[in-house]
Amino acid sequence: MSVVLAYKNFAANRNISHIGLGVAAINTAKVLRRDGIRTAVWPVLSAGDLRTRLQSAPAGHVIISAPWIPTLELQALASDFPDTHFTVNCHSNVGFLQADRNGVRLMRETMELEMGNANVHLAGNSRRFCNWVRSAFGVPCAYLPNLYYLDDRAVPQSKPFSGSALRVAAFGATRPLKNLMSAAGAALEIARHLRAPLEFWVSAGRAEGGEGILAALKEMLSGLPGVTLVMNGWQSWPNFRQTVASMHLLLQPSYTESFNMVTGDGVAEGVASVVSSAIDWAPADWKADVDNVLDIARVGRRLRADPRAAEDGRVALESYVADGLSAYRRFLAIQ
């Protein structure tokens, strides 16, 4: 059994970077390989690129990250490689689909392809998404979650706050559904409670229509004594992990998510995150009311003061990965 995780290499196009898909794929591949499942990660530019690679290296399963291959080309691949199962794995929960009209169309068309082909499948990396598809459309939807690779290092304790600047981050693309303003408002309240200078870190370089969000954020934070907004440019994943490790707290109060890689990075580096109920694998006491900034701050203050918070996160993430691995094994028919 060989598995290919294929994602569109947006980074090959100037000024466009979807590194998250690649990071998710390599983490999933490392977990599957550790379990004895031969897995490769292919960044591809087009359906034609995928076809060329399959001709030289046939695979039993090709799991395509996100719906982006045109339906006619996916049908052609399924016809020309009948011994390969092609699975389109949606990487967004239902709420985020409002930002991807083309993805919704391709998702619907994949449902139709699955009905007429033995080797085309629709999947999602969120159980909530999969349950919705099955219930709303009456069609199959396999659960193939992001798997996060955790090595055998001891879990770092949460970074202690020594009275210097409080470093709080809300990393990720600047999208309305990420709830960045609420995260910034909570960070302000936490810093004021501690009577500490604040460094509030956000990702720069992927506004994706969020220029107005950044402008509003700057209006809220500018001119406040001891408050610094740090625009962190997009980095390679190893360098980003180092940046995450330097934070005291992460804030990810998203309105909708399917996994959230930044929270996983925080767990791996010993940094807890305040999250929403959308990030369902995280510990229950990491979750706050996303429309209540003071509740986000309340959870953040408690997590920042708990040196074992990151360890709780690791236990939760390990449980999620073990369950997800079982889902892959069932799908791949590995007994």
Q: Is the pLDDT of residue 16 over 60?
A: no
Question: Which pLDDT score, from 0 to 100, does residue 162 have?
Answer: 73
Judge whether 207 lies within some domain: yes
For the chain, first and last CA: distance in Å? 12
Tens digit of each residue's pLDDT (9 = 90 or more) over 207-251: 666 788 999 999 999 999 999 999 998 888 899 999 999 999 999
Tokens of 45: 């530019």
The closest of 267, 260, 266, 171 to 276, measured between CA atoms, is 260
Same domain, 98 and 199: no
State which H helix or E strand residue 202 sits in.
Answer: strand 198-204
State the total domains in the chain: 2
- Looking at 120, 147, 174, the residue that finishes a domain is 147
The whole-number average pLDDT for the span 243-262 is 96
- Closest of 85, 101, 217, 193 to residue 142, by C-alpha: 85
CATH number of 245's domain: 3.40.50.2000
Instruction: Work out the mean pLDDT of the chain and round it to a whole number.
Output: 92
Residue 111's CATH number: 3.40.50.2300
- Overall average pLDDT of the 26-51 stretch: 96
Do residue 140 and residue 7 come from a single domain?
yes
> Domain for residue 153, yes or no?
no
Query: Are residue 250 and residue 132 in the same domain, yes or no?
Result: no
* The CA-based dihedral angle spanning residues 8, 178, 277, 34, taken in that order and rounded to the nearest 10 degrees: 30
Regarding whether 175 and 117 lie in a shared domain, the answer is no
Q: Are residues 107 and 14 in the same domain?
A: yes
Task: Specify whether 10 is located in the same domain as 128.
Answer: yes
Whether residues 121 and 173 share a domain: the answer is no
Same domain, 20 and 132: yes
Number of H helices, E strands in the chain: 11, 11
What pLDDT score does 12 carry?
54
> In terms of domains, do 114 and 207 share one?
no
- Among 118, 147, 176, identify where a domain stops: 147
pTM of this prediction?
Answer: 0.92
Which helix (H) or strand (E) segment holds residue 262: the answer is helix 261-268
Are 133 and 244 contained in the same domain?
Answer: no
Structural domain contains residue 87:
yes
Q: Are 192 and 309 part of one and the same domain?
A: yes
Residue 323 lies in a domain: no
Q: What is the pLDDT of residue 14?
A: 43
Range of the domain at 39: 2-147
Alpha-carbon distances of 274 from 22, 152, 159, 202, 299, rounded to whole Å: 25, 25, 15, 15, 6
Domain annotation covers residue 297: yes
Nearest to 68 by CA among 91, 94, 42: 91
